[in-house]
Chains A and B, each alone.
Chain A
């Protein structure tokens, strides 16, 4: 009998929690395929290392964008391989809870559940990422107090106000870490005339990217391909120019937090001033982002102890208490 699973099917990373065991898999949501035969060559970390470095017949892709499935067939194959890696076989079909962005459409929801069922799940239910994140970040959502959680993922950013086990106010935008990386790529292309890959842009963001001015403004040397001559070229980027380059996606994220605060009932709003709001997700690790949100909202922002694992830990708790918490699944009438 297979143990039930909780899956955080993120645009950037996929994490799997096994009932009674904890997190058993944490890998990038990437799959590498042979373009000619359609065979899967690698998944996860191994496939991630291939991005932008493959010969013509291999393609390394992320089958999810903006939190939604862009290629159904590839996503199904990726989920099947992930399930196989954690011990699911044709004869052991577990119940699966999958975390998805709250803003996904009915069609996108069905695509995720169908992909999981075809990949070997006996039953697949969905839970909203901010709700799972709040449980995983250990917020007291069982109490009648305002808990605010900001989940900044690879493709989406969601802010939710949660009280008494339910979402009171929600604001989601399809802007995340990958949009910040894309903004860096575009800036280098426009201002310095060189092309850099997705992974290099991410490395620049991690090295010198920031959402607000910090004490240690540094520089980074970047190597790419000159668009005019086609030759390798090196340029030096400053933290300030990267900050300006990523201003648009950062503003979109901060604006959505402000809109969510405006939607919250006044009784709960006063709780945020005392309790603060919690930042989870890999995007929340961007230097100065918590400070920027705090400055623009005047509400204290705290970083979760487990920003990358909060969502899957929350979904894991739901799978551990499946019967009591099945009313929290998306599409269940409350």
Chain B
């Protein structure tokens, strides 16, 4: 009777252990998938937009500087 009880308990522990392990590995796969999805170009659209905006702003500032430099050159020439 005791032997049967021990076998049942061991069997139960093995089943629970396997279930936890399988769940953990499923969670790891889901977490990895979620991380990769969050790094995808679609998810990073906001970042890309902000990069473009800053780039455009820098370009406009640079072209403004050039205009000032050219004006200065004209002044020197005249």
Residues on A lying within 8 angstroms of B by beta carbon are: 22-23, 135-138, 140-142, 164-165, 305-306, 309-310, 313-314, 316-317, 320-321, 323-325, 327-328
Q: Are B35 and A135 in contact (CB under 8 A)?
A: no
A305 touches B51 (CB 8 A): yes
Known A138-B44, A316-B47; contact A306-B55, beta-carbon cutoff 8 A: yes
The answer to whether B50 and A22 have CB atoms under 8 Å apart is yes
Are the CB atoms of B47 and A313 closer together than 8 Å? Answer: yes
Within 8 Å CB of B35, what residues of A? 165, 324-325, 327-328
CB distance from B49 to the nearest CB of A (A): 10
- CB neighbours (8 Å) of A314 from chain B are 47
Asked if A136 meets B39 with Cβ closer than 8 Å, knowing A309-B54, A324-B34, the reply is no
Distance between Cα atoms of A245 and B54 in the complex (Å): 34
Partner of A321, one of B43, B48, B50, B52: B43
Given contacts A135-B44, A305-B55, contact A313 B50 (CB under 8 A): yes
State in angstroms the CA–CA spacing of A34 and B3 once bound together. Answer: 79
A-B contact pairs, 12 of them (CB 8 A): A135-B39, A137-B51, A138-B51, A142-B39, A305-B51, A306-B51, A306-B54, A309-B51, A316-B47, A320-B46, A321-B43, A325-B35
Q: What 8 A-B pairs have minimum CB-CB distances, sorted nearest first?
A: A324-B38, A142-B39, A321-B38, A305-B55, A324-B34, A317-B47, A142-B36, A142-B40
**B62 close to chain A: CB less than 8 A:** no
Contacts of A23 in B (CB 8 A): 50
Report whether B44 and A317 are in contact in the complex, using a CB–CB cutoff of 8 Å: yes
How many contacts between A and B, using CB within 8 angstroms?
57
Q: A316 — which chain B residues lie within 8 A by C-beta?
A: 47, 50
B contact residues vs A (CB 8 Å cutoff)? 31, 34-41, 43-44, 46-48, 50-52, 54-55
State the CA gap A323–B38 with chains docked (Å): 10
Taking the closest CB of chain B, its distance from the CB of A330, in whole angstroms, is: 15
Chain A residue at smallest Cβ distance from B48: A138
How far apart are A135's CB and chain B's nearest CB, in angstroms? 7
The residue of chain A having its C-beta at the shortest distance from the C-beta of B34 within the complex is: A324
| B9 shortest CB reach to chain A, Å | 31
CB-based nearest B residue for A142 = B39
Q: Which residues of B contact A320 (CB under 8 A)?
A: 46
User: Which of B38, B39, B41, B48: most chain A CB closer than 10 A?
Assistant: B39
Nearest B residue to A328, CB-CB: B35
- Chain B residues positioned under 8 Å from A321 (CB to CB): 38, 43
Residues on the A chain within 8 Å of B46, using CB? 317, 320
Asked if B44 and A165 make an inter-chain contact with CB atoms under 8 angstroms apart, the answer reads: no
Give 8 A-B pairs besides A138-B48, A165-B35, A321-B38 with Cβ atoms closer than 8 angstroms.
Answer: A22-B50, A135-B39, A140-B41, A141-B39, A142-B40, A313-B51, A325-B35, A327-B35
Do A138 and B43 have beta carbons less than 8 Å apart?
no
The docked-state distance in angstroms from the alpha carbon of A321 to that of B31 is 13
Question: Could you tell me the distance between the alpha carbons of A305 and B62 in the complex, rounded to whole angstroms?
Answer: 14
In the complex, chain A residues whose CB is within 8 Å of the CB of B48: 138
Q: Which residues of B contact A22 (CB under 8 A)?
A: 50
Report whether A165 and B39 are in contact in the complex, using a CB–CB cutoff of 8 Å.
Answer: yes
